[in-house]
A = this chain, B = another copy of it.
Amino acid sequence: MNVRPGVVAGDDGSPDAATAGPRRRPMTADQYVQGVLSGDRTLLARAVTLIESNAAAHQELAQEVLTALLPRRQASIRVGITGVPGAGKSTFIEALGGQLTAAGHKVAVLAVDPSSSVTGGSILGDKTRMEKLAADPGAFIRPSPTGGTLGGVARKTRESIVLFEAAGYDVILVETVGVGQSEIQVRSMVDFFLLMLLAGAGDELQGIKKGVVEIADAIVINKADGAGRLAALAARSEFERVLHYLRPNTPGWTTVAHACSALEGEGVADIWQVVQDFAAATRQSGAFADRRAEQEECWLEELVYEGLRTQFAHHTGVAGMRGQLAKQVARGEILATAAARRLLDIFSRPPVSPK
């Protein structure tokens, strides 16, 4: 991410005041807030950069900005999209995004990619693969936050969603690849989760990862064009059989497999219709709001336990004993219950402070 000298950083996530040129003055929380609400893309980009920053001072400011914007969020639908590299997610997102902006929507394209690094970048949210959408004034593409754990990346993405919704983006697409638990994280921050697969040679489906099928609200079998069409339809049929044995991810909703050819633009509108039907049905039944409330509460729980684990791990007494006890437990030398007791006992005592 290069800052071109002399140019105010644009919407490509350039670093903020601390490292940019002399024209950049630090912004106040209120300036960020007003900037986001105004719809200004540059200011929105700077706000997202602020959220993503790991610097302690920025985090305080970020929390202030987010707290102010929380009640200003507008209605939206959040859609998660996963699938192996090569499944055609970028092409699909570009096609879908274009149709949506043409219909007047404002579309944010985010990504959760824990393998993304400051130097290496990410394979997701790659504007070079979504060139048309990247130039679309109704769309905003943001690469994955970098650096650190999946939990950290997911947290920053969740917080960014607050900014985009306050800025009036009514469709939030969150892309991820099948790396570790990233699908589970994305699932927990979206309303609708879409799994993109490729048809294989026969009727088999490429790209199914254990645990992902069960959390999808729709399966899309992509590249169902030309010679691939028959294979895609056979694969879809096969897939319906599998889905029959799995409980639907969202109560009251049947997960269905759809064939599509994003490159040809075929089937993309149908899939969006599925998302809209889902939104309508779940809004009516209350499941939509219930799920969002549950996601927020689960996130709170997650943050609390993460914090507890951190406090626990950093407790001097615990840190000294833990590794040794874990090894003894693994070897069957001491009972897990006994080891846990000892550690919790050490933790519950206030640390001895030097007088």
- A-to-B contact residues, CB < 8 Å: 63, 66-67, 70-71, 73, 155, 159, 162, 204-205, 208-211, 213-214, 238, 241-242, 244-247, 292-294, 296-297, 299-300, 303-305, 307-309, 311-312, 325-326, 329-341, 343-344, 347-348, 350
Contacts and interface: CB of A to CB of B under 8 A. Distances in A.
Contact of A338 (B67, B294, B336): B67
28 contacts: A63-B337, A63-B338, A66-B338, A67-B335, A70-B333, A70-B334, A70-B335, A71-B332, A155-B337, A209-B247, A213-B245, A292-B332, A293-B331, A294-B330, A296-B336, A297-B326, A297-B330, A299-B336, A303-B336, A303-B337, A303-B339, A304-B312, A304-B340, A304-B343, A305-B308, A305-B309, A307-B341, A308-B347
B311 A348 contact: yes
Q: How many copies does the complex hold?
A: 2
B213 A340 contact: no
B303 A66 contact: no
B332 A70 contact: yes
A213 B214 CA distance: 12
Given A210-B246, A311-B348, 11 more contacts: A70-B332, A70-B334, A71-B332, A210-B214, A213-B245, A238-B241, A241-B242, A242-B245, A305-B305, A307-B344, A311-B347
B334 A67 contact: yes
Contacts of A305: 305, 308-309
B155 A66 contact: no
Given A242-B241, A304-B340, A309-B308, A293 B159 contact: no
B303 A312 contact: no
A244 B239 CA distance: 11
A331 B343 CA distance: 36
A296 B293 CA distance: 35
B63 A332 contact: no
Contacts of A339: 300, 303
A205 B297 CA distance: 36
A149 to B, nearest CB: 15
A332 B348 CA distance: 33
Given A307-B344, A330-B297, A344-B304, A335 B213 contact: no
A66 B339 CA distance: 13
A300 B312 contact: no
Contacts of A162: 335
